[in-house]
Structure 1
């Protein structure tokens, strides 16, 4: 899947973009709309907390850093005498798992309070009253979807396409 971002000037055109995506058989759960705080989105699919924040990348980063740190701490603990091989393996596993979990949790808490890095570049346009529509589309259909939107709705700016998106948000 790839995420395509559309910057749209008003709600009527936003509705047309969402309808065009639905007609292109993109499921509603893969379409997200973000607007200035307090702007009514009516029946449009609003972006949720996972799309608005850096939660997912922060958790991934926390898992990697925490797991690496725990692995190193476990290796140091194993290297110190006297440890039996069975106990050493348990120490190594425990420090890696606990540190990875702790790193993910702490990073997730920080990430949920931080605006999404990809959306940050659109902040000024959103504050000026534009709408940001982003859709997760199959990689092989990106060109087709972009062309379809350009063809039917000329007022829309296709801003960028993410190289890949996480599977679960």
Structure 2
């Protein structure tokens, strides 16, 4: 999947974009709208905390760093004299998993409280009343969807795509 970013001038145009995406068979759960705080979105699909924050990248970083730290701690633990080679593998595995779990938890706490770094570049436009639409589409349909939106709504700015979106958000 790839995420396409559309910067839209108003809510009426946003509704037309969402309609175009639905007609192009993009499910509503893959469409996310971000507007200035207090803007009435009516029946538009509002972006959730997962889209507005850096939750997923932070969990990934925490998992990697915690797992690495746990593995190193496990290696240190088995290098100490009382550890036998029989339990050494278990110590290494347990410390790696524990480190990964703690790292993922810590990363999620940080990520939830941090604004999405990709969306930050649109904050000024959103504060002036424009609306940001995020659409997660299959990567083989990106060009088709962009062309369809430009054909029907030429006033919409397509702000590019983001590489691969994880499957779980």
Q: Which residue of 2 aligns with 1:159?
A: 159
Q: Which residue of 2 aligns with 1:128?
A: 128
Q: Is there any run of 5+ residues in structure 1 with no aligned partner, and where?
A: none
Q: Which residue of 2 aligns with 1:141?
A: 141
Output the TM-score relative to the length of structure 2: 0.98
Q: Which residue of 1 aligns with 2:24?
A: 24
Q: Is there any run of 5+ residues in structure 2 with no aligned partner, and where?
A: none
Q: Which residue of 2 aligns with 1:34?
A: 34
The alignment's C-alpha RMSD in Å is 0.6
3-state DSSP of counterpart to 1:162: strand
User: How big is each residue's C-alpha offset from its partner over 1:32-81, in whole Å with a ceiling of 9 and x where there is no partner?
Assistant: 00000111100000000100000110000000000001001101111111
Output the TM-score relative to the length of structure 1: 0.98
- Superposed, 1:34-113 pairs within 5 Å as 34-113=34-113
Offset at 1:82?
2.4
User: How big is each residue's C-alpha offset from its partner over 1:125-148, in whole Å with a ceiling of 9 and x where there is no partner?
Assistant: 001100000100000000000000
User: How big is each residue's C-alpha offset from its partner over 1:102-158, in whole Å with a ceiling of 9 and x where there is no partner?
Assistant: 011011101100000110110000011000001000000000000000000011000
3-state DSSP of counterpart to 1:44: coil
User: How big is each residue's C-alpha offset from its partner over 1:84-112, in whole Å with a ceiling of 9 and x where there is no partner?
Assistant: 12221111111111111001101110110
Deviates more, 1:33-42 or 1:79-88: 79-88
The runs of at least 4 consecutive aligned structure 1 residues that moved more than 4 Å come to: none
3-state DSSP of counterpart to 1:47: coil
3-state DSSP of counterpart to 2:164: coil
Offset at 1:160?
1.3
Q: In 2, Cα distance between the equivalents of 1:21 and 1:158?
A: 14
| 1:9 paired to 2:13 | no
Q: How many residues in Structure 1 have an aligned counterpart in Structure 2?
A: 169
